[in-house]
Structures are given as structure tokens and as C-alpha cells.
Amino acid sequence: RLSMLLEAFDNEQMARYEAFRRGNLNKSAVKKLANQVLAQSVTANVGTVICGFSKVFTGEIIELAIQIQKAWGDEGPLLPDHLREAWRR
């Protein structure tokens, strides 16, 4: 089923999908942060889950920031103001 979906992608969608697949968070850093925040040891599996959620959350914030950038009529790279507004919403 995934192959059928990938075949239907245009060039822009394929580039975005490839960027999504390549992007990842440093698992050891995420695990260390989770250990500090939770004040207890976090297993490798929990660290992997946190990385997954973080990746999706980051993607959603960036997508919303891009929409905000377009709504404001700005061009170029995302600005901190776009990201702050995305977080606020």
C-alpha cells in the first residue's frame, strides 16, 4: 500500500516525504532530557516513542508556521515570529 502511495506523489510531495524520513532527533539527547524532566530513568523504548511524538509535533508546528507566514504575506525562511505564533495557536 505504501508503494502505491509513493507512486502517486508528485516531485514536491516526494521531496517532502524524503525529508521527513531523513529527519530525526538525537535519541540519546531526548532520553537524557526525559530523564531530567521526569526525575527517573527512561527506557530506550520510551525514548523512541518520545522521539516519534516530538518529530510529529515539530512537523505540525512548522506546517502551521508556514501557513502563518503565507497569511502574513512574508517570504523567505521562517522567522521566530512565525514559530511563536504557531505555538500560540
- pLDDT tens-place string over residues 33-62: 999 999 999 998 999 999 999 989 998 999
The position carrying cell 509535533 is 57
- CB under 8 Å, gap of 24 or more: what pairs does 23-31 form? 23/55, 24/51, 24/55, 25/51, 25/54, 25/55, 27/51, 30/54
pLDDT digits (tens, 9 = 90+) for 62-72: 999 999 999 99
pTM summary value: 0.72
| 68: exposed, middle or buried (Cβ count in 10 Å: 0-12, 13-18, 19+) | buried
* pLDDT of the residue at 77: 94
Confidence band for 83, pLDDT divided at 50, 70 and 90: very high
Question: What CATH number is given to the structural domain containing 54?
Answer: 1.10.20.10
Q: How many structural domains are present in the chain? A: 1
* pLDDT of the residue at 63: 92
- In terms of residue numbers, what domain contains 53? 2-88
